[in-house]
Structure 1
Amino acid sequence: MSRAASIKDVATHAQVAVGTVSNVLNNPDRVSKRTKDRVLQAIDELGFVRNDAARQLRAGHSRTIGVVVLDVGNPFFTSLVRAAEDAAAMNGSAVLLGDSGHDANRESHYIDLFQEQRVQGLLISPVGDVADRLEALRQRGVPTVLVDRRADEDRFSSVSVDDDAGGYLAARHLLDLGRRKLAFVGGPLSIRQVSDRLLGARRAVDEVDGATLEILDSDGQSVLAGRGLGNSLVDRGAGDMPDGIFCANDLLALGVMQSLTMMNGVRIPEDVALIGYDDIDFAVSAVVPLSSIRQPTDAIGRTAIELLTEELDAQHPQHRAVVFTPELVVRHSTAGADAPH
């Protein structure tokens, strides 16, 4: 196997100094067009690829941004990361993605790995409280922006959605339809986003006399987890079924919908009104188009990169907490769902 061409090989082939090749790669304005064209031709003919790892060692950082999310299988995070990647590319950076899978140890591994890769900065949707860990990372020159989690502005910048308000919107919508026996499906409650959505739902229920809210802790936030909880509700019998269900994300809601409608003949929204959270693309194309609380994933991803860029460019950055307002999207799973008689 032949060895890869080096910068010295390019210099020899183009009949220039090694420093001239370095300038063409890093400071092209310092080189005449004629010389630059000769060096670029040599690079093309030899198939030279710059050793970016060596450049990172000299510079102390790379042109990459680390991103750690809770669940890359959730379309909410997929859309968010895509938007962040597009925004990073506009700045000449690339994104390295890590999926913690709601596992604190796995999250810690990715933080270590990205530090070893000398990333410019880190975007993270944390599993738990990692403030001290991220503070230490920043002291080593790696700024961090929290995503989908509000942070203390004295310590970090963050971009998030008001999940308490979103939970209130969802439960209030069901209550306005005349539903009084509500259930909240989500978990684990140790996830801040889930607990905040539950707080908002409780606030709405407390405003209406005779309304109740049952908490159904889900084993994860997947379609499969939602389907399992839907089956457990059906096993109770029709008399003990909630008349309105708010799920902490759309994947859970789609699983509940599959169980109730496709496997057990429960009518949505006539028997049970159902609403999710996130407004992923699959919500509109569900068997029964799903009402949901919309989060602006594109804006969240772009804003995360903007905040990180501010942290990188300023010697003494002013941390900011950007909080977006969620939006109620009404579709057939609740539309026209008057209280059952």
Structure 2
Amino acid sequence: MERNPPPRVGLAAVAREAGVSTATVSNTLNRPEIVAAATRARVLSVIERLDFVPNTTAASLRTGTNRLIGLVVPDITNPFYSEIAKGVAAAADEQRLGVILCNSQDDPVRELSQLEMLAEQRAAGALVVPITADAKRLARLRSLGTHLVLIDREADDGCSTSIDDVAGGRLAAQHLLSTRGDDFVLVNGSHAIPQCIDRRSGARAALSAAGLEPDDLVEYEVTEMTTEAGVGVARLLLTAAEAGAPLPSGVLCTNDQLAIGIIRGLTQHGVSVPEQVAVVGYGDLAIAADAPIPLTTVEQPKYALGHAAVEMLVAEIRGEQSGHRHSTSVFRPSLVVRDSAP
């Protein structure tokens, strides 16, 4: 004989048991910071004892939103975005939010489609690592009506969290200047990527500050910022050396994957790193510390970037009615010195 499940405990039952209003119970779950600590503790104790589960579906029907947010990244296999996602997930847990992870696969059309889907599902908001900085396209994303916070990109009109990549490029170049002199080259991604432009600008600023000519900086631009692309640039350096050109004393790469590729390509052909060529990366991914030759690199606060973005999104959602001022958090990178460029 089948047994009927026990009746579901409702919000009113929790309020009655805790001796508070249903609004206080709701605030304890959704806006705990405005509830007195003692009251909040009492309500949470009753919730646990009665095994109360909020009816989020009903709440979303009443308010027109739900407790889900979206995170749209260009490539979920990239460790940089994985670390950002960890920060997003931790902050979302703190705010009792669920996260839908979307992979745009470096495709602007797919990125827009995913944001439209989030808007159709009435997601509370979206966090986006945008593929390009096209102002018209970003305005289109905002026009969908979903609260939006950009990650790793400064926004002209809206909230965003980003990293001062000009400062990061300057740090890396200053380190090579102080340890190897001005005979280093830059291995960079596409100039269509704002971060690549900023890191290049920082390196050039370091040369200028040292009384050197920024235009003398030799740059190798690659279409994909991968380990394989770094190996390819190493081959170009070795080919030039065979033709009589000296190897550079240092190589500054605008991400860690390129730097690992440079090291692999050089050492496979008998070039010693760092004795002959010092190599500096950017990002401080897990592969940097774990590489056969631990990589000197620029550390980016990736976890903090994602965590702060969620806090901004929540503030924007809650401030919609009372008035909200957009804000930008810019995190400063730091240099981590390891064996590849001591």
Q: Distance in 2 between matches of 1:194 and 1:254?
A: 17
- SS where residue 80 of structure 1 aligns? helix
% identical equivalent positions:
37
Would you say 1:227 and 2:236 are equivalent positions? Answer: no
The 1:25/1:91 distance shift into structure 2, 3 A limit, reads farther
Classify 1:91/1:295 alpha carbon distance in 2 versus 1 (closer, same or farther; 3 Å): same
* Alpha-carbon contact 1:134-1:144 (below 8 Å) kept: no
Task: State the Cα deviation string for residues 92-119 of structure 1 (Å, max 9, x = none).
Answer: 1111112223321222222122222322
1:93 aligned onto 2:97: yes
Q: Does 1:281 align with 2:286?
A: yes
Residue in 2 that maps onto 1:325: 332
Supply the distance in 2 between the matched residues of 1:108 and 1:241 (Cα, whole angstroms): 45
Match of 2:69 among 65, 68, 71: 65
2:109 to 105, 112, 117: 105
CA offset at residue 225 of structure 1?
1.8
Q: 2:250 aligns with which of 234, 244, 255?
A: 244
Is the 8 Å Cα contact of residues 276 and 291 (structure 1) preserved in structure 2? yes
Paired AA for residue 162 in structure 1:
D
Counterpart pick for 1:295 among 293, 300, 309:
300
Q: After alignment, is 124-133 or 269-278 more displaced?
A: 124-133
In structure 2, list runs of 5 or more residues that go unmatched: 19-45
What amino acid maps onto 1:264 in structure 2?
A: H
Q: How many residue pairs align between the two structures? A: 306
Report the residue type matching 2:74 in the other structure: L
Change (3 A) 1:129 1:334: closer
- Correspondence for 1:46: none
Shift of 1:191: 0.8
Structure 1-normalised TM-score? 0.80
How is 1:139-158 mapped onto 2 (pairs within 5 angstroms)? 141-152=145-156, 155-158=157-160
**Which sections of structure 1, spanning at least 5 residues, go unmatched?**
1-8, 44-48, 336-341
Separation of aligned partners in 1, 2:324 and 2:286? 36
Q: State the Cα RMSD in Å.
A: 2.9
Query: Partners of 1:224 and 1:27 in 2: how far apart?
Result: 61
Q: Cα distance 1:139–1:128, how it changes in 2: closer, same or farther (>3 A)?
A: closer
Q: CA deviation at 1:59?
A: 3.7
User: Any conservation in 2 of the 1:180–1:210 contact (CA below 8 Å)?
Assistant: no
| 1:226-249 residue CA offsets vs partner (Å, 9 max, x unmatched) | 222222222222524322111111
Q: 1:129 to 1:219 in 2, by over 3 A?
A: closer
SS of equivalent to 1:237: helix
The aligned runs of 1:260-279 (5 Å cut-off) are 260-261=266-267, 263-279=268-284
Distance apart, 1:27 and its partner CA: 5.4
